[in-house]
Structure 1
């Protein structure tokens, strides 16, 4: 469940990579990596496509045993027990991880960035957590970028959606993904559309469990649309 693995040599503090805005800071992107990756995995790539006024925060998940990988310890936002939509999920772990994401959002708010200028994003397991965390956050966010992922704890929705039901969501998925099948993303999208009508789903032909130039271009355009320069 990796991604781009370019190394980012900017500041890394308290388990997260932080790349400051290169112009006046008026917006923030918080992006969550996939299973077994770190905040460095996406930082350099996203730094190249974000608008100059956007600060980038790429936290690293805590290291924990992962059931899906025979209990081996690796960076993971919560335990993954199987690659099945019907198996029980790590509900307590997902809810706990979402609270930590909310703390990151609140840190940016305390620093003077309003919640509607904060975008939450993620890839694979990180994208799943980004979706769940957004719907569990009562204040309006600027948007959500969900890559190659699914909505976890689907049985709790739409009741569990406390906020961001009107927020714009960009969901992206490759049609050749062998890890998180395309239909997972499609099923999540169909379900989300029933309570989050501003969701948009994009499919990328030939893309496996990774990103692409086309997808990154779409993310860059989405960021500029939902958070234009002030």
Structure 2
């Protein structure tokens, strides 16, 4: 799923945005269409369909298996790493297509946000920024400052609803504290939204728009 400007311009900046569990790229493609800058190319890929342990092994679009949602729940390490490799391959392909990696923002919502954070920390490509919405940091106990090679200074916009019943705000708080031990704390922005459940709101979308336009300014 690709959204781009209808203008006849060379699009050399990009946002790759990953949807949440059970969703597809279509919903977020529509949401991003409402805030897009005309010079930015947007890619909203679809996750593969697989059984999800958390949902009684029902098959649904999922970037990796989710076994539980507690802070200490078992994680699908193999699936998370495989998913990160697939997003890395997507980034590499876009670089081969002529978009410099430092002109790419990676982002996502919920499970997609989790994967975008993990991928941004582990990728060898220098990215322009990462947008992490209503999510958590996968495999956090295996991550440290020493494993981050390229993106120690990456700008991060992390957002969370204060009334999120599915991925509670404490997940976001724990994530931002972990990120501050690995990245430049001054590069991290954490925003919360009163009353917002596991979804998005207009204020959050405007914060995303401003972040993207700051990290991906137009080039004459």
C-alpha distance in structure 1 between counterparts of 2:150 and 2:63, whole Å: 21
Work out whether residues 22 and 53 of structure 1, in 8 Å CA contact, stay in contact via their aligned partners in 2.
no
Matches within 5 A, 1:2-41: 17-23=1-7, 24=9, 25-41=11-27
Find the residue that maps to 1:194 and give its secondary structure. Answer: helix
C-alpha distance in structure 2 between counterparts of 1:84 and 1:111, whole Å: 40
Matches within 5 A, 1:1-230: 17-23=1-7, 24=9, 25-158=11-144, 159-197=146-184, 198-230=187-219
Deviation, structure 1 residue 139 = 2.0
Find the residue that maps to 1:133 and give its secondary structure. Answer: helix
Work out whether residues 4 and 38 of structure 2, in 8 Å CA contact, stay in contact via their aligned partners in 1.
no
Deviates more, 1:132-141 or 1:207-216: 132-141
Deviation, structure 1 residue 52 = 0.8
- Where does the alignment leave 5 or more consecutive residues of structure 1 unmatched? 1-16
Deviation, structure 1 residue 20 = 2.2
- What TM-score results when the alignment is normalised by the length of structure 1? 0.91
Deviation, structure 1 residue 126 = 0.2
Deviates more, 1:18-27 or 1:83-92: 18-27
C-alpha distance in structure 1 between counterparts of 2:147 and 2:68, whole Å: 23
Corresponding residue pairs, total: 214
Q: Where has structure 1 moved over 3 Å in runs of 4 or more? A: none
C-alpha distance in structure 2 between counterparts of 1:69 and 1:161, whole Å: 33
C-alpha distance in structure 2 between counterparts of 1:90 and 1:168, whole Å: 27
Offset from partner CA, 1:40-61 (integer Å, 9 cap, x none)? 0110110220211111101110
C-alpha distance in structure 2 between counterparts of 1:41 and 1:135, whole Å: 26
Work out whether residues 21 and 56 of structure 1, in 8 Å CA contact, stay in contact via their aligned partners in 2.
no
The structure with the greater share of residues assigned to helix is 2
C-alpha RMSD over aligned residues: 0.9
C-alpha distance in structure 2 between counterparts of 1:210 and 1:162, whole Å: 32
C-alpha distance in structure 2 between counterparts of 1:142 and 1:73, whole Å: 34
C-alpha distance in structure 2 between counterparts of 1:154 and 1:163, whole Å: 18
C-alpha distance in structure 2 between counterparts of 1:120 and 1:30, whole Å: 5
